[in-house]
Amino acid sequence: MLVVQGVWAGDGLAFWAEDPAAAGAKGRPRHPFAVETGALTRLLLGDSLRDEPDPRELEMLLPGSAAAPLPSPETGVLSDVARPRIRSWRVPAVVLSPADALRAIPLHTSSTVRYWAAVTEFAGHLVRRGRVLPHLVADDTAEITDMWAVPPDTARALWRAVVIGGDAAHFRELAEAMPPACRAAAVERPSADVLREALDHFADAHARAAFTEPIVARPRTPRDRWLAALTASDPACADVPELRGLLAHWHRTVARTDTGTRVSFRLREPAPAPAPAPAPAPAPAIEPPPSHEPSHGHEPSQRPEPSDGPGSGGEPGWVVELALQSADDPSLYVPAERVWSGEPVPGLPPRPERELLAGLGRAVNLYPGLEPALREPQPMRLTLDTAGAHAFLREAAPLLQAAGFGVQLPRWAGTRRLGLRLTARTAQRQSAATGQGLGLEQLVDFRVDLAIGDETLSEEELAELVRLKVPLVRVRGQWVELDERRLGAALRAVEGDRDGRLPAGEILRQVVRGEDGELPLVEVDADGVLGDLLSGQAERRLRPVPAPSGLSAELRPYQERGLAWLAFLSELGLGAILADDMGLGKSVQTLALLVHERAARPTLLICPMSLVGNWQREAARFAPELRVYAHHGAGRDAALIDGADLVITTYGTAQRDFDTLKGVAWHRVVCDEAQAIKNSGTLQARAARSIPAATRLALTGTPVENHLAELWSIMEFCNPGLLGSRERFRTRFQEPIEARQDQQATLALRRATEPFVLRRLKTDKSVISDLPEKLEIKEWCPLTPEQATLYQAVVTDMLERIDSCEGIERRGLVLAAMARLKQVCNHPAHLLKDGSRLDGRSGKLARLEQLAEEIVAEGDKALVFTQYAEFGNMLRPHLARLLGRPVPWLHGGLPKKDRDRLVARFQDDPEPTVFLLSLKAAGVGLNLTAANHVIHLDRWWNPAVEDQATDRAFRIGQRKNVQVRKLICAGTVEERVDELIERKKALAERVVGSGEDWLADLSTDRLRELFRLDERAVG
């Protein structure tokens, strides 16, 4: 068995391979098991290397006897050497550049290569978080031996890893975990030294790969050429000695990995001035800041100048407290007073005062304002004036925190800011009950005020702030930050029109967009319709609407509230997204709305083909008085539209008959399963948006499946233009939330969409209390040896083809590879399509057999979903023989009447049954509450699609607890994509409470790791 090993060679990662089965001549110094470099290069990356590999013969220090070294444990070969000794052996090796090493590492699974994979992952994590610093290394320094060679008259522009705080603890763990063979080249070196050197190389490679464009497009000066070399493939550049010294000093200041403690800085605000004893005057709304000058030690360096403003004089100034803090356990916080007291503190080094002084010495390079404190023999705190405190907040604190120092700021820092408060009042306050609201064309009195936090400012107070010209001020007892730009914007706002009358709809648009020039809209106080709408609680505040006459259904309380909300928005001419969880009755609420309104004009309902019949049945059952026409199929007749109250069509028909449908005066357009229009650029999404209607309604349980652009597309259908253009939405919301997890952007998006999105969950007992529990279980299934062999063959074949392709061809190959790997995980016969037997060849099938027998034995019913019709065709007769009873099989090729017959029999027949279903054909629109078990046999890899399928059983009408099992082959692509799915779910949950295309864009490196066959895979 050939095993590839990785060893650090000082200037790159060297790979060598051993194969005991093909041992050459015995005897030193040549390693007898070593594989020649030509075969090794082809094994690593074939022709895809960026740089020509560097073949070398390395001297390795390896255990063994005088005759031969010990085979590595991965070979499985046992040695009979009783007392091995470390000896020198020469091995042919290939040294790859850091960029090529990053691509080669995920291919191989020896302990040494797995270790370097962890190191490269750590380096990439540091780069993604900005934990790297640029460097300039000259050839006349000792550091030249650490990096690749350049001409003698040049230097090298490099990135180096910054390992501080919690990263330092991980660094120490990695150093301790380094296999000895990873540092066995030439002379033996400490693992921390080898790791530090390698980490810098890999961080440099990751950082260069992160830049798509050069930092300086046209470098002219030596410093420009240094900046350009930081993003170029060649790091060579001219030497700039003064810059080199500055950068080296910067590194010494920031990068330390040898300590478990750090210096911490805590900013404390001045205490409020005590009220004067005799007859105090009313406290001023705005208090000038204290006038202390910065000082060191316990007392100010000079006496403060007297000030006429209250709060000055004897009021203490701002204080930065100094302390030591454990890097591994931030709760271990020791003030400087205690450090200097000499009292031993568990968790700190024996001489903590040395750590404190050393840390302050490094910090002063980043924060020169700290220098006065260092003049004290025992520095404990720093006293600042207001300008100094603001400089610490805005400038020093971010630098210190980024450099690994602890920083603690007041809770209000960065949260209280100057903004606008909008007050809107109707001429006569009216009830929010449906039918009594005002239209959006109604003129509303409004007023815009300036606000800081919860406080509204008058013009006089604003003038006082401008007069003070200070960046920190206490407003009614609360400290806030002000800056010159926002103060200028506030003055312009005061000078403009701050009150008047506008249509309620215009005010609504301003609120949703949330910005007015340079000042944000921080609060809205509105009454009447606007107040109910903008509260985000309209559904709770509205008077519930009971089931209207003509609706043959009893509405639950949450459905009555949903009907009131839908009618409320409809009267205002606004669109809505009804995003209730699957099974909570979106269809019955929609039909109730139609019956409640009894509009003179028809409603157009667009849905997937599989749901046309379902809507017809639901309408006939719950709203028998509605005239329903299904406009689809070869016999459709546009002349029948005028005589209908509800016209049902499919997305495909709506696109094909767009010219006909856009000419009808629709009262409403409803999109069911609205995730079908989540991609705004598709023809069906554009057709749905372009059909004119008075109002619009989107029904979906998954308003966000993969990314936030889907929410924009659905909102654009419901309320065109309300969220702005797609580009503005991307820059204001999508990129900050998805790329940076920006909480402010998340809150702003929720505030903007909350009035128009109603989402209730089945798991919320305040919504529905009589629905049973849902238990989700992941079943980890092993591969059989036959499956493992086929799996590895598919990976090897497909990766070679994927790596040599680009664009649409590459995407197609990636999706094809994933499909083939999933087929292998299902069963070898599924991949081979040879009609061979099924028994005993698949770990996943074995688990399905066990579950099916147990479910039937307990008298229960189960739904088994597969996305492959061909696999369902194989399974149906196999499961029928196993269970001794019929196994119904619902797939897309069945006529509608046969589908309905299978569903009705499953629901009504009391016999235990395993119902086999195609995920695409049966994942939506069916009510299968007779089942209390759901098994996902193969993963669709989109959580929303799986959840929709599960909700065929877990919905209203279910009386038993539902067990949901997802069968996953351990150690395969299925396990790794399951981990990605769990991370994907968080996006939708943060904002609003198909297919596999999102995987096709992964890099080749990520695909190698995704497809990799783990040793745990084979049972």
Write out pLDDT tens, residues 350-374.
Answer: 788 888 898 898 888 889 999 999 9
Burial letters 956-965, b for 16+ CB under 10 A, else e: bebeeebbbb
Confidence of residue 243 (pLDDT cuts 50, 70, 90): confident
CA gap 796, 1012 in Å, rounded: 10
CA gap 577, 715 in Å, rounded: 8
CA gap 604, 879 in Å, rounded: 43
Strands (E), 258-351: 261-268, 286-287, 295-296, 318-326, 333-335
pLDDT in tens, 901-941: 898 899 998 899 999 998 877 777 688 889 989 999 987 76
Of the two residues 752 and 293, the one the predictor is more confident about is 752
Contacts of 775 (CB under 8 A, 6+ apart): 961, 962, 963, 964
Of the two residues 187 and 733, the one the predictor is more confident about is 733
Q: Is the predicted pLDDT of residue 943 greater than 50, yes or no?
A: yes
Give alpha helix (H) positions in 2-97. Answer: 37-44
For residue 687, give the nearest of 713, 651, 719, 715 by alpha carbon.
Answer: 651
Q: How far from chain centre, in Å, is Cα 572?
A: 36
- Residue 667 three-state SS: strand
Measured CA to CA in angstroms, residue 879 lies from 88, 337, 921 at distances of 61, 75, 20
CA gap 53, 3 in Å, rounded: 19
CA gap 647, 659 in Å, rounded: 16
Q: Is the predicted pLDDT of residue 314 greater than 60, yes or no?
A: no
Q: Any bridge partners for residue 85, and if so which?
A: 64
pLDDT of 47 reads 45
Q: Is the predicted pLDDT of residue 583 greater than 80, yes or no?
A: no
Q: Any bridge partners for residue 672, and if so which?
A: 699
Report which DSSP code applies to 368: G
Q: How far from chain centre, in Å, is Cα 423?
A: 36
pLDDT of 861 reads 93
pLDDT of 590 reads 96
For residue 97, give the nearest of 134, 126, 54 by alpha carbon.
Answer: 54
Q: Contact 598/623 with Cβ under 8 angstroms?
A: no
Confidence of residue 623 (pLDDT cuts 50, 70, 90): very high
pLDDT of 794 reads 87
- Which domains does the chain possess? 3-251 (no CATH), 261-271+285-300+315-342+349-408 (no CATH), 418-534 (no CATH), 538-758 (3.40.50.10810), 774-1011 (3.40.50.300)
CA gap 184, 531 in Å, rounded: 72
- Rounding to the nearest 10 degrees, give the CA dihedral for residues 688, 689, 690, 694: 100
Q: Is the predicted pLDDT of residue 311 greater than 60, yes or no?
A: no
Concatenating the DSSP letter of every residue in 749-780 gives HHHHHGGGEE---TT-TTT-SS---EEEEEEE
In the block, tokens 């007050």 appear at 423
Strands (E), 530-642: 576-578, 603-607, 628-630
Q: Is the predicted pLDDT of residue 455 greater than 80, yes or no?
A: no
pLDDT in tens, 132-175: 888 888 755 434 333 333 444 578 888 888 887 667 778 888 88
pLDDT of 516 reads 46
Q: At what angle do helices 807-826 and 785-803 cross, to 10 degrees?
A: 180
Of the two residues 348 and 201, the one the predictor is more confident about is 201
Confidence of residue 297 (pLDDT cuts 50, 70, 90): very low
Contacts of 948 (CB under 8 A, 6+ apart): 582, 701, 702, 923, 924
Q: How far from chain centre, in Å, is Cα 390?
A: 33
Query: Which of 502-511, 585-594, 910-919 bottoms out in mean pLDDT, i.e. has the lowest?
Result: 502-511
Output the average pLDDT for the chain.
Answer: 78
- Residue 41 three-state SS: helix
Q: Is the predicted pLDDT of residue 958 greater than 70, yes or no?
A: yes
Q: What percent of the chain has pLDDT over 90?
A: 18
In the block, tokens 């390896």 appear at 62
For residue 912, give the nearest of 992, 973, 857, 989 by alpha carbon.
Answer: 857
For residue 636, is it left (φ>0), alpha (ψ between -120 and 50) or beta?
A: beta
For residue 956 the two structure tokens come to 């209203």
Burial of 433 (0-12, 13-18, 19+ CB in 10 A): middle
For residue 436 the two structure tokens come to 């009594």
pLDDT of 418 reads 73
Q: Is the predicted pLDDT of residue 436 greater than 50, yes or no?
A: no
Measured CA to CA in angstroms, residue 615 lies from 205, 865, 898 at distances of 57, 23, 17
Q: Is the predicted pLDDT of residue 690 greater than 90, yes or no?
A: yes
Q: Is the predicted pLDDT of residue 473 greater than 80, yes or no?
A: no
- Rounding to the nearest 10 degrees, give the CA dihedral for residues 830, 834, 840, 845: 20
Q: Contact 381/373 with Cβ under 8 angstroms?
A: yes
CA gap 593, 601 in Å, rounded: 14
pLDDT of 440 reads 65
- Most trustworthy range by pLDDT among 10-14, 254-258, 771-775, 868-872: 868-872
Query: Which of 244-258, 282-296, 484-498, 976-990 bottoms out in mean pLDDT, i.e. has the lowest?
Result: 282-296
Contacts of 649 (CB under 8 A, 6+ apart): 604, 605, 606, 607, 612, 630, 631, 632, 657, 661
pLDDT of 612 reads 83
CA gap 865, 518 in Å, rounded: 53
The helix (run of H) or strand (run of E) holding residue 697 is strand 693-699
- Residue 672 three-state SS: strand
CA gap 46, 58 in Å, rounded: 22
Q: Contact 199/158 with Cβ under 8 angstroms?
A: no
Confidence of residue 422 (pLDDT cuts 50, 70, 90): confident
Of the two residues 848 and 761, the one the predictor is more confident about is 848
pLDDT of 694 reads 93
pLDDT of 308 reads 31
Q: Which amino acid is at 389?
A: A
CA gap 495, 1014 in Å, rounded: 68
pLDDT of 671 reads 95
